[in-house]
């Protein structure tokens, strides 16, 4: 993951030095394809987590709530994928949905573990990485492309909200610390 991030940084720095509008637009398209790959990986990971969560034990309403939230988040991520692909097309690029390329381009990893807590923690890590990457991309596109900047800012806002919900869910699943009675 760090090599992918370093590649994106080099691309943005190289473009900053050149200040060529055509090259800048292609860099933005490339960066958006990296965001697209990240979101597609997230959609697949969240879908896998949704289906695997049925095996976790939790009080009845709690598991239904978690399933509903997970399904809603998958749908939200899918809408993000479509918005990103539309923006790439508007810029004259081609949205890259090529499965073998996704893992190379995306900033998120596809993971599926055996416990609900581990799944949520992996999702939180993915959200935090995406937020950090969006922040860098927003700085890069700020003076070059207002529409892309606004799109990335909106995606980052949604991911920040989701990260907050994940943090709350993780805290609710952690066992209470055992308190010792004072003698």
Question: pLDDT tens digit string along 99-158?
Answer: 888 877 776 666 666 677 787 888 888 889 889 989 999 999 998 999 999 999 999 999
pLDDT for 62: 52
Give the span between the Cα atoms of 74 and 56, in whole angstroms: 19
pLDDT for 106: 72
Give the span between the Cα atoms of 144 and 111, in whole angstroms: 35
pLDDT for 171: 86
What's the pTM value of the predicted model, to 2 decimals?
Answer: 0.78
Most confident region among 4-13, 43-52, 77-86, 172-181 by mean pLDDT:
77-86
């Amino acid at each position: 993951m760090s090599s992918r991030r370093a590649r994106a940084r080099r691309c943005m720095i190289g473009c900053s030095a050149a200040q060529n509008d055509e090259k800048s637009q292609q860099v933005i398209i490339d960066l958006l394809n990296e965001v697209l790959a990240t979101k597609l990986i997230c959609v697949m990971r969240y879908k896998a987590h949704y289906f695997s969560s049925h095996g976790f034990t939790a009080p009845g309403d709690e598991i239904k709530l978690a399933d509903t939230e997970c399904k809603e988040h998958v749908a939200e991520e899918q809408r993000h994928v479509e918005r990103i692909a539309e923006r790439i097309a508007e810029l004259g690029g081609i949205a890259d949905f090529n499965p073998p390329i996704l893992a190379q381009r995306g900033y998120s990893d596809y993971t599926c573990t055996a416990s609900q807590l581990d799944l949520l923690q992996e999702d939180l890590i993915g959200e935090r990485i995406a937020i950090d990457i969006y922040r860098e991309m927003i700085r890069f596109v700020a003076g070059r492309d207002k529409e892309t900047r606004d799109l990335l800012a909106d995606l980052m806002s949604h991911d920040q909200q989701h990260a907050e919900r994940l943090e709350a869910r993780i805290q609710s699943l952690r066992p209470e610390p055992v308190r010792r009675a004072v003698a």
